[in-house]
Amino acid sequence: MISFSLILAIAACVFWWERQLPNKLRHAAREGDLEACLRFGEQLAALRWLGTGSLKEQALCRRRQAKIFWTEDNVAEALKLQRRLVQSEQEDASQQKRDRNQLDEWETEIRDQALVLFRNGKFEQAIARLTPLEGSKTPGSSALSDTLKETWNRNRLDYQRLKALIDKERWWEALDSLNRLDHPWWQQRAEKQRDRVEAAIEQLRDTEEHQQHGSTDPNVIAGAELEAAVQKELKAGTDPWDAFQSACRLLGGHVEEDGPESFCRRRSDKGS
């Protein structure tokens, strides 16, 4: 069993060390020993006693070390220290405002860097860059990461669907998938597919123009009549495939597929 005298001795040592810490903290701050300054500050905080003067020295060390971390691109540690400064209730209002502005500036820079990476197709790097912001209380800090993930996955799926539609030579639907791509990197990746799809659609239009002279089924709606209706729908903001289907219906037809091609057949009087 620990004797009462031993407990008193331990308490006396703790009290003595607690008395020494403020001076050690101030000395470390004056000497620029940020590692020691931060260590002594944490020890004082753990002992639940810290004089006002010591608090200022501790904040000064945190502020300096945070800037060093930032210049070394140790973003997570820089933000961690800066947040502690902002959350401190002992600093005066003007200093807290400066600390808050510094934190906001760093967080904004991180988001801007992540967006540049994202636009350049470096998705994983962009998400990793945003990771240190997860501990931020700034509105929208985590929402940006979610938005980037949603945008990237949606474009990836549209690109995969595009390739599948091209393999099946379903050109109007492929054009629709192409126009749904809204990320610069995916749009650039799909340039060759766009050239192929647009060339195929142009060829279909040329074929329809020749067929309208009577060499095709008279029940097939094609040529200038269908093209004009499709263009009207496109100008109204309708997606290409939906525009083709809508134009066909407005002209009294319905869309049928004949192998790889889709065409508009006029409905019979019997409603077939």
Q: Which residues pair with 227 in a beta bridge?
A: none
What pLDDT shows up at residue 132? 92
The pLDDT mean for the chain works out to: 77
Mean pLDDT computed over 123-149? 83
Task: Report pLDDT for 13.
Answer: 45
Beta bridge partners of 266: 253
Range with the lowest mean pLDDT among 154-158, 207-211, 256-260?
Answer: 207-211
Closest CA to 116 of 108, 80, 104: 108
How confident is residue 106, by pLDDT bands cut at 50, 70 and 90? very high
Predicted pLDDT of residue 210: 44
Closest to 42 (Cα-Cα) out of 3, 80, 76 = 80
C-alpha torsion 194→200→202→204, nearest 10 = -150
Give me the mean pLDDT over the 77-95 stretch.
82
- DSSP class of residue 126 equals H
The closest alpha carbon to 154, from 181, 131, 125, 174, belongs to 181
Residues 172-187 have pLDDT tens digits of 889 999 999 999 999 9
Which is more confident, 79 or 23? Answer: 79
| Residue 86: predicted pLDDT | 87
pLDDT band at 260; cut points 50, 70, 90:
low
φ/ψ of 257, rounded to 5, equals -110, 130
Given a cut of 70, whether residue 153 has pLDDT beyond it is yes
